[in-house]
Amino acid sequence: MAKFEHVLEPMERISEVLFGIIIVLTFTCALRFTRMDSGSVHTMLWGAIGCSVAWGLIDAVFYILGCLSERGHNIKLLRLVRATRDPQEAKEIIGSVLPPLLAANIRDEEYERLHRKALEMPEPPYRPPIIKHDLLGAAAVFLLAFGSIFPVIIPFTFMTNPRWALHVSNGIAIILLFTAGYALGKYAAPHPWRVGVAMVILGTAMVGLAIALGG
């Protein structure tokens, strides 16, 4: 994930990996309800790959749309700040984009300085542009969502016994779920290993639900 750390936020990176793992698990675990012969494994592999490609592309497109939406919202707020001459109104607009804890501890003089800075800035574009960072982020989203399936399906490509391949695949998936949960815990919780265990339980439950609903 290190190569994407300057493109995607930690939660975005971890989420894409988790989504990819859960998607492929719905395919591999569904093998339990088949004859588990070479034909079933072949169908499962292509289904998992195709679904992951589709999911990665869709998520990449929505990532770009999200970037444009956020940038457009920021442009709108900048226009509102530049249009007002009321210090209190400017303070409310600027405070709405700051973290609440930070906004509550900024003095009025600092809000006024930020307002003056906004007035000195050049006119913002009419519509939000797509920038290089958006395309890199979309590519990272696709690669994470698509690439995360391969450790789980690799056992089916070289193990001749599908049942043993399924056991190994599930073990790999559990390790990946725990690792992703642990990474999330390091980012946002005091006890990362607990988040790792919770992610294994949650991921397993979500896969079971998806299979039960015909996913």
The boundaries of the domain holding residue 189 are 2-212
Burial class, 68, CB count within 10 angstroms (exposed 0-12 / middle 13-18 / buried 19+):
middle
- What pLDDT sits at residue 58? 92
Distance, CA of 186 to CA of 184 (rounded, Å): 5
Q: What is the mean pLDDT of residues 161-176?
A: 88
pTM of the model: 0.75
pLDDT band at residue 191 under the 50/70/90 scheme: confident
Q: Give me 97's structure tokens.
A: 């984009």
State the DSSP H helix or E strand holding residue 100, giving kind and residue range, or none if neither. helix 100-103
User: Average pLDDT of the chain?
Assistant: 85
14-42 per-position pLDDT tens digit? 888 888 888 888 888 877 777 777 788 88
- What pLDDT sits at residue 2? 46
3-state secondary structure of 122: coil
Q: Beta-carbon neighbour count of residue 90 at 10 Å? A: 22
Question: How many domains does one find in the chain?
Answer: 1
87-104 per-position pLDDT tens digit? 889 888 888 888 888 888
Q: Give me 115's structure tokens.
A: 């307002």
Q: Beta-carbon neighbour count of residue 92 at 10 Å? A: 15
